[in-house]
Amino acid sequence: MREALDLLRDRPLVVLTGAGLSTDSGIPDYRGPGSPARMPMTYQEFVSGPDARQRYWARSHLGWGRMRRADPNAGHHALVRVHPDLLITQNVDGLHERAGSPRLVALHGRIADVICLGCRATSPRQALQQRLTELNPGFAERHAAVEVRPDGDVELDETAGFVVPDCRECGGILKPDVVFFGENVPAPRVERCYAAVDALAERGGALLVAGSSLTVMSGFRFVRRAAKAGTPVVIVNRGATRGDELATYTVDAGCSEFLGLLADQQTAPMPSR
């Protein structure tokens, strides 16, 4: 761990975070040690018909009701102090925003936002949550014991009869404003991230990955791009990742612990010579 921290000291940084960063906030990980196998709903399934959307929104109604009460943890707050050139997060929980990270790209969007697939109007998730509660009285109370999964999902099969409202503006289909499997990350987000990663090579910077297995290409591509340019890559994660062979250092440790040490050394005065 010390070698990785020394490499990152006083360098320009781009940080890429994944679900492992939010586990200390009580949000389950996707692929960390002990994580159950899961098949998240794809975009194609979501738009396939009302039954799929009923299943999605019933589960999400319960899961987001809990996720929204999660608070940023020590790792989120440490990254505010690290103050990277750009923070790229694959998480949709909004905890980096709540912690106060200023230079941020939410690669996959935010679960707290809702978009209409018809008129493209966006609205706060809280407003939809209230409508779902009113249309489905007692639903949350009847399923209070269900197990929470990542991204505001839960383990629940009994979704028949759950009422899903349409867009108030046009009657269109409402979807969380996040990138589902089967969708592409909007090009402007990707280009902003590429530009920040490319700049590291010119400035002697490094790419730090925290809490991601890099299984999904949307995050892994930035590691490949940095490594190809000769930029050092440090990966901090519980367990192996897809990018380990490209990394300068891999650290099997908790994100909060490592990021706290990094923040401390970034803000500590340099020793006198």
Is 90 exceeded by the pLDDT of residue 65?
no
| Residue 108 annotated in active site | yes
Question: Average pLDDT for residues 210-215, to the nearest whole number?
Answer: 96
Cα–Cα distance for residue pair 182/188, rounded to 1 Å = 18
Q: Which of 94-108, 154-168, 171-185, 197-211 has the lowest mean pLDDT?
A: 154-168
Is 80 exceeded by the pLDDT of residue 182?
yes
Complete domains list, the chain, with CATH: 1-27+72-108+185-273 (3.40.50.1220), 36-69+112-178 (3.30.1600)
Q: What is the pLDDT of residues 88-131, one digit of tens each?
A: 999 999 999 999 999 999 999 999 999 999 999 999 999 999 99
The predicted pLDDT at position 39 comes to 66
49 DSSP 8-state letter? -
The predicted pLDDT at position 121 comes to 96
Q: Which residues are annotated as a binding site?
A: 116, 119, 167, 170
Catalytic residue selected from 61, 76, 96, 108 = 108
Structure tokens at 191: 């280009």
Q: How confident is the model at residue 41 (pLDDT cuts 50, 70, 90)?
A: confident
Cα–Cα distance for residue pair 248/144, rounded to 1 Å = 45
Q: How confident is the model at residue 34 (pLDDT cuts 50, 70, 90)?
A: low
Q: What interhelical angle do 255-267 and 74-82 show, nearest 10? A: 30
Nearby residues of 104 by Cβ (< 8 Å), 6 or more positions away: 86, 87, 88, 89, 96, 97
**What percent of the chain is modeled with pLDDT above 90?**
78
Q: What is the pLDDT of residues 225-270, one digit of tens each?
A: 999 999 999 999 999 999 999 999 999 999 999 999 999 998 765 5
Q: The whole model's pTM is what?
A: 0.91
The predicted pLDDT at position 244 comes to 98
Pick the residue with more confidence: 203 or 35?
203
The predicted pLDDT at position 269 comes to 59
**What percent of the chain is modeled with pLDDT above 70?**
91
The predicted pLDDT at position 266 comes to 81
Mean pLDDT computed over every residue of the chain: 91
Is 50 exceeded by the pLDDT of residue 273?
no
22 DSSP 8-state letter? G
Q: What is the pLDDT of residues 149-161, one digit of tens each?
A: 656 667 787 888 9
Cα–Cα distance for residue pair 173/49, rounded to 1 Å = 10
Is 60 exceeded by the pLDDT of residue 35?
no
